[in-house]
Structure 1
Amino acid sequence: MTVGDLIDLLSVCDRSAPVRLAMSPFFPMAHRLTEVVQAEAKGRLVVYLAEGPDPSSQLGPLPPEVAVALTWQGPVQAPPRRARRTARRTDGQ
């Protein structure tokens, strides 16, 4: 993805919405974006989006609906309910 691609994707978003990073598909967490840095890496210019050093930058688990939208998790549904079994008396009554 290029900066132009990112701008195109962001151009349809609400400009007042906070920005979050979704990290780690196997342990999905949300992080606050605090820095944008442009630097040369391996001979080419790269833009990095980063969380800050503040411990409050990690906001906690990613909402399940976001993980599903990212296809990091499948939609989870409660298992079907089964009739409860009753204990049988073994004393003949």
Structure 2
Amino acid sequence: MTSAEMTVADLIDLLSGCDQDAPVRQAMNPFFPMAHRLAQVVQSVDEAGRTVVYLAEGHDADAQLGHLPPEVAAELTWQGPVQALPRRPRRRVGGN
């Protein structure tokens, strides 16, 4: 049976290509993308008896770090790339 869920081995494989000194953040809520600081890894058993690993944010007030950078939300395909509107020429004093 193939699983659509990411496994611990998949996560380790993906993380192996990252800077090992970089902080770990969790991206949450695609409709209002926010970044959260991870604090815990907990292994448990689900209702079907399968082992499951949970990544959790901390209890601190600063665990939610704010809005996810737009380029990260675009990379996750949670929102499209945002482009600035074209600039109009500035009006000058005297009408030109």
TM tier, smaller: 0.7 to 0.9
**Unpaired runs of 5+ in structure 2?**
1-5, 92-96
Once the two structures are superposed, what CA deviation does each residue of 1:19-75 show, in whole Å capped at 9, x if it has no partner? 000000000000000000000111111000000111110000001111111111111
Choose the corresponding residue for 2:22, options 4, 11, 17.
17
Seen in structure 2, the aligned counterparts of structure 1 residues 83 and 8 have a Cα distance that, compared at 3 Å, is same
Choose the corresponding residue for 2:82, options 76, 79, 82.
76
CA–CA separation in structure 2 for the residues paired with 1:16 and 1:82: 44
**Structure number with bigger Rg:** 1
Root-mean-square deviation (Å): 1.5
CA–CA separation in structure 2 for the residues paired with 1:22 and 1:47: 17
Q: Would you say how many aligned residue pairs link Structure 1 and Structure 2?
A: 85
Runs (4+) of structure 1 moved beyond 2 Å?
79-85
Counterpart position of 2:65: 59
SS in 2 for 1:46: strand
Counterpart position of 1:90: none
Over the matched positions of the two proteins, sequence identity in percent amounts to 74
